[in-house]
């Protein structure tokens, strides 16, 4: 089945710095790559997604890039703020199950 690797597992930055989280996937048929943010005590919530026919997508301070050839995609957060502190999950759709396979998560800590 699909395998999604996510790095790093923890990331600490200073407020105002940029943060980058990277994921790789194994199934070349995967075509949908969402990113979820999970705040403490809550369920994950979609923050941005990208489809395989697009190389980059931006939404204010958040951007996602996709390299289909290398089978990796990344989340970029600019001008980080303390409220960005959370666990971030990448995911990929797996053609066999028609469900999402998640990475193991990245705990982002933004210090004031």
Partner 1 sequence: DAGITQSPRHKVTETGTPVTLRCHQTENHRYMYWYRQDPGHGLRLIHYSYGVKDTDKGEVSDGYSVSRSKTEDFLLTLESATSSQTSVYFCAISESDAQLNTEAFFGQGTRLTVV
Q: Under the criterion CB under 8 A, does residue 32 sit at the interface with partner 1?
A: yes
DSSP string, 24-80: EES-TT--EEEEEEE-TTS--EEEEEEETT-SEEEETTEEEEEETTTTEEEEEE-S-
Given 46, 56, 59, 82, the residue binding partner 1 (CB under 8 A): 46
Q: Rule CB under 8 A: is residue 1 a binding residue for partner 1?
A: yes
Main-chain phi, psi angles of 83, to 5 degrees = -70, -5
Q: In this structure, what token pair is assigned to residue 50?
A: 């990208």
Identity of the residue, 48 or 110, whose beta carbon is nearer to partner 1 in the bound complex: 48
* 102 touches partner 1 by CB under 8 A: yes
Q: Which residues bind partner 1 (CB under 8 A)?
A: 1, 6, 31-32, 34, 36, 41-46, 49, 51, 89, 93-95, 97-105
């Amino acid at each position: 089945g699909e395998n999604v690797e996510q790095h790093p597992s923890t990331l600490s930055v200073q407020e105002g710095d940029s943060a980058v989280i990277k994921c790789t996937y194994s199934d070349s048929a995967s075509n949908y790559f969402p990113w979820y943010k999970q705040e403490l005590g809550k369920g994950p919530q979609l923050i941005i997604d990208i489809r395989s026919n697009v190389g980059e997508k931006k939404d204010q301070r958040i951007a996602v890039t996709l390299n289909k050839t290398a089978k990796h995609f990344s989340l970029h957060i600019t001008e980080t703020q303390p409220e960005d502190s959370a666990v971030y999950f990448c995911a990929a759709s797996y053609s066999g199950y028609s469900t999402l396979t998640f990475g193991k998560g990245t705990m982002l800590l933004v210090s004031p």
